[in-house]
Amino acid sequence: MATKANTMTLMRVVHRYLGFFLVGIMAMYALSGTVLIFRNTDFLKQTVEIERELAPNLSAEELGQALRMRGLKADKEEGDLLYFKQGTYNKATGVASYTEKKLPVLIDKMTHVHKATTDQPLYWLNIFFGASLLFFVVSSFWMFRPKTSIFRKGMYFTIGGFILTLIMLWV
């Protein structure tokens, strides 16, 4: 019985202090995750005018690659000017003038952390955070003794949460 109590105490203590430690990053993920839901809209985005000097005489496809714009299509071409939805490109000088919609700096940085891949140097922090969230899931079952009414009610909420998750996966 002593090891059961020790395991319960250990889980509660680690759950509590890890939760306090990760408050900032949990808030950041909650905010950036919510903003990412609207990534295909202009929600919170500001229009920014950009002028870049590129190699001259690029085709529309090469221009799209150079500007990192997927599916860039030339609307029309007049002399040396190539017109596309976001702006213009001067084939003679190589100067591209265009507009982009960007999130405010802090929110943009948060969404980049949220979408981190192994190409970025701090991706291991995302792995640590994901593992911590998984620990929160498991350790929450050690918060209350199994024979208490709070634990039983918690099991009903757990079942409801699993059902909601299944519905979300199949909708």
Total domain count, the chain: 2
What confidence tens digit (pLDDT) does each residue in 10-26 have? 999 999 999 999 999 99
Is residue 35 located within the same domain as residue 115?
A: yes
144: which 2 tokens?
Answer: 């209350």
Instruction: Kindly state whether residues 116 and 166 are assigned to the same domain.
Output: yes
pTM of this structure: 0.77
**Cα–Cα dist 94/31, whole Å:** 39
Residue ranges making up the domain that contains 22: 2-40+105-170
**Is 109 in the same domain as 163?**
yes
pLDDT tens readout for residues 51-60: 999 999 998 8
Residues 82 and 119 both lie in one domain: no
Residue ending a domain, among 74, 102, 130, is: 102
| pLDDT value, residue 1 | 52
Alpha-helix residue ranges (DSSP H) falling in the chain: 2-21, 23-37, 60-67, 105-114, 123-139, 149-170
Same domain, 112 and 147: yes
For residues 117 and 155, membership in a common domain is answered with yes
Which amino acid type is present at position 92? A
Contact (Cβ atoms closer than 8 angstroms) between residue 15 and residue 143 = yes
Q: Are residues 9 and 55 in the same domain?
A: no
Return the closest-CA partner of residue 73 out of 81, 63, 57.
63
State which of 76, 102, 128 marks the end of a domain.
102
Residues lower than pLDDT 50 in the chain = none
Q: 53-62 b/e with 16+ CB inside 10 Å = b?
A: ebeeebeeee
Q: Is residue 163 domain-shared with residue 113, that is, in the same domain?
A: yes
Residues 98, 110, single domain; the answer is no
